[in-house]
Structure 1
Amino acid sequence: MRKIFLFISGFLASVVFVLASNVLHQTSEDYFLAKALGKNPLKINENLFSANIGNQINEAQLGSCDISQIKAKSYLSLLVNQQGESKIIFEKNTEQKLPIASVTKLLSAVVAEEFYFGDKIKISSQAVNQLETTGELRAGEWLDKKELLKIMLIESSNDAAFALSEQFTESGFVGLMNLKAKDLGMKNSIFFNASGLDPEDVKMQENKINLSTANNLALLLQNILLNVPEILEITSQKTLPLYLENGAFHHTLQSTNQLLGENPYIIGGKTGLTERALGCLVLVLKTNKQNEYIINVLLGSLNRFSEMEILNTCSLKKTLELIK
């Protein structure tokens, strides 16, 4: 009888311990996620965009535009301000889930900025073997997060994106990307890799492709604009000599964004191009009003730069009408 009593007591104690452990684990996990995914206060950096404030929009200089000339699968032009308010200027199929190619790297940058607090990152041979011809990374060299972010965002380096994701294990990093997307309200987005490459180029099943919508990407850009403008600042660079922390010259970064320098109102953005995604491009533009911006998103285009020029012109002209 005593043995039975001891057995039952031990069993009940084990159950209580397991339940308590699960509750503690869940509580700790919830606390971590709440802490990690908590929204930052708005922090528009006016110095970041001061060079553009003097470029007042002149309707006569903008020329004519015809929004019907844009044949992309989806586009969105959104007017936003520092208070987080927004107004749709133009839209087409903004809820259609489409591949977004290297536009993915904007979310990768947000995750790296928010979650990675390490020092130097050693470049692995697997990182330099990613599909691309940019980045000029070498296996065994050490770079810090800021340097890799510049290479990833300006040159759209898949090597740099993979190197950043490796610090969490690639699957762990992608998990954080999906958590962050959910936190931002990007309900119609899913991510399988940090670079945006088509699945066949990263040896994944063909259905495991990064997808999002124009509306969801506008939410991402709005978050970057308001909370992590340093990411936008990096993407505003057409060319940038990259010097490492020790002062050594690495190489000169060349932006993949052909519209930088062509339109004085552009303050940043990101390109994307794969066989399945076609051409993608997202931009942020300054308007005549302080702390007011235009977010333009273009997905599934055969002529992304020329079509984005049309969207830029039409949206800038429309903002002039709105403030008259």
Structure 2
Amino acid sequence: MIGMFTPLTSKSYAAQNDPLGINASAAIAVEASTGKVIYGKNIDESLGIASMTKMMTEYLLLEAVKEGKVSWTQQYRPSDYVHKISQYTSLSNVPLRKDGTYTVRELYEAMAIYSANGAAIAIAEVVAGTETNFVKMMNEKAKELGMKSASFVNATGLNNHDLLGMHPKGTDAEAENMMSARDVATLAYHLLKDYPEILETASIEKKVFQEGTEDAINMENWNWMLPGLVKGYEGVDGLKTGYTDFAGSSFTATAERNGMRIISVVMNAKGNGSNPYLPRFNETEKILNYAFSNFTVEELFPEEYKLKGESTLPVIKGKEKEVSIHSKDSFKIAIKRGENKQYKPKYVLDEKLLNEDGAIEAPIKKGASVGYLTVEYTGDGQDLGYVNGISKGKVDVITAEKVEKANWFVLTMRSIGNFFGDIWGGITNMVKGWFS
């Protein structure tokens, strides 16, 4: 079947009832190797994200380190702004001395483990010179990663009014960072895919900042679902909590079991107890239990899969008149257990390569991409698609052999044959018309 060279769109989420009864304003679960959304509640509404913001700060720092623009041993001396925020004891912080120096790694660990806000702003200054410049980078990176609802106004996730009048230039004094659950999951997906080493730090349960000095501070990870902490859950090794009055109790978790990694997000989780931090972990546990109990990553179609009845393409101007096509790789997807047969394969061919008769012109290289293999879900459930900017629900369809262009003599003989064939066909039709 020939179709436009565009990804399939998923069914609308709006009609779906929440099967888990998650007590949060929004929630999502994603299989990490494919970016496939396997559960969702209100996943596209833009909401406050609080310190889950720091995943973007981490991403931009890790990118700068990878590109050689920043080193882990690089020394930083706090600006007046960073110093003042770091002394703000009602916020998550490690106090930084005005005349002290700190390595980038120390600041990164303080941010990733303890959600230290002064350290996050320090990292923004290391990477971009000022937090104002860093916020521009954050919003640009969000667009690059396909995050459609993201709006960053600072590097920490605090409300701007908590920044003591020193919030980034051009941002509103009462503004706070906003994203949808799908976009938060998108950010987490890219962070894990591009910089998997993030988990080496995110999984640290406890660490001492400035150990061995008079400034030493015990840092316990705010992610209480790490196995050694109060809400420990098997397989959890990240990623980032968040809480403000505006955003509520929020958490981006990731856990791996039996070779499958899940990313989950809960936003503004609610509960009946007096502890405002517990609801995000209680609701996350429900999502992870559901994901690991009900889903698996399956190979639906093998490498070099040929779709019955569509395994060749006609060729014009070639030594051969057709070319075989098949999938380049195997097609894997996260599916609900028992639904293997609910996915129908489909070729979507690149119309720009084909003429009006659906033929491709020689010469053709072996392994040339001519489109992609995707699937259509035919079950009773709902396909929620993928995290933003991801088209993992397809694999390339390629040519199985090369087809050389026919020489001028062969092409000429074919043209003559076609010419007389057309004449003979016309005469035959005319004679038939006389006796019909």
- TM-score, normalised on structure 2? 0.54
Alignment match, 1:251: 217
Alignment match, 2:292: 316
Larger radius of gyration: 2
The alignment-based identity, stated in percent, is 29
Structure 1 residue 251, shift from structure 2 partner:
3.2
Structure 1 residue 299, shift from structure 2 partner:
0.7
Alignment match, 2:280: 304
Which residue among 106, 113, 118 is the counterpart of 1:147?
Answer: 106
Whether 1:220 aligns to 2:187 is: yes
Matched position secondary structure for 2:218: strand
Matched position secondary structure for 1:128: helix
Q: How does 1:233-312 map to 2 (within 5 A)?
A: 233-242=200-209, 250-261=216-227, 262-289=232-259, 292-302=260-270, 303-312=279-288
Q: Give CA deviations for 1:224-251 in whole Å, capped at 9, x if unaligned.
A: 111111223211111123457xx86843
Structure 1 residue 318, shift from structure 2 partner:
1.6
Matched position secondary structure for 2:152: coil
Structure 1 residue 323, shift from structure 2 partner:
5.6
Whether 1:112 aligns to 2:61 is: yes
Contact kept in structure 2, 1:89 and 1:318, CA below 8 Å: no
Contact kept in structure 2, 1:124 and 1:140, CA below 8 Å: no
Contact kept in structure 2, 1:239 and 1:253, CA below 8 Å: yes
Note closer, same or farther for the CA distance 1:278–1:284 as it changes in structure 2 (3 Å cut). same
Higher helix share: 1
Alignment match, 2:433: none
Matched pairs, number? 252
Which residue among 78, 82, 90 is the counterpart of 1:123?
Answer: 78
Matched position secondary structure for 2:240: strand
Matched position secondary structure for 1:78: strand
Task: State the distance in 2 between where 1:197 and 1:133 align.
Answer: 10
Alignment match, 2:37: 88
Which 5+ residue runs of structure 2 have no aligned equivalent? 1-17, 271-278, 297-334, 339-436
Task: State the distance in 2 between where 1:77 and 1:133 align.
Answer: 27
Contact kept in structure 2, 1:125 and 1:139, CA below 8 Å: yes
Q: How does 1:62-211 map to 2 (within 5 A)?
A: 68-81=20-33, 85-115=34-64, 116-117=69-70, 119-130=74-85, 131=88, 132-167=91-126, 168-202=129-163, 203=165, 205=172, 208-211=175-178
Contact kept in structure 1, 2:92 and 2:114, CA below 8 Å: no
Contact kept in structure 2, 1:67 and 1:311, CA below 8 Å: no
Higher strand share: 2
Task: State the distance in 1 between where 2:63 and 2:98 align.
Answer: 26
Q: Give CA deviations for 1:64-100 in whole Å, capped at 9, x if unaligned.
A: xx9534210000011121xxx2322210111100110
Task: State the distance in 2 between where 1:214 and 1:133 align.
Answer: 23
Structure 1 residue 179, shift from structure 2 partner:
1.2
- TM-score, normalised on structure 1? 0.72
Q: Give CA deviations for 1:102-130 in whole Å, capped at 9, x if unaligned.
A: 00001001112223515211123321322
RMSD: 2.2
Matched position secondary structure for 1:311: helix
Task: State the distance in 1 between where 2:134 and 2:235 align.
Answer: 33
Task: State the distance in 2 between where 1:87 and 1:174 align.
Answer: 29
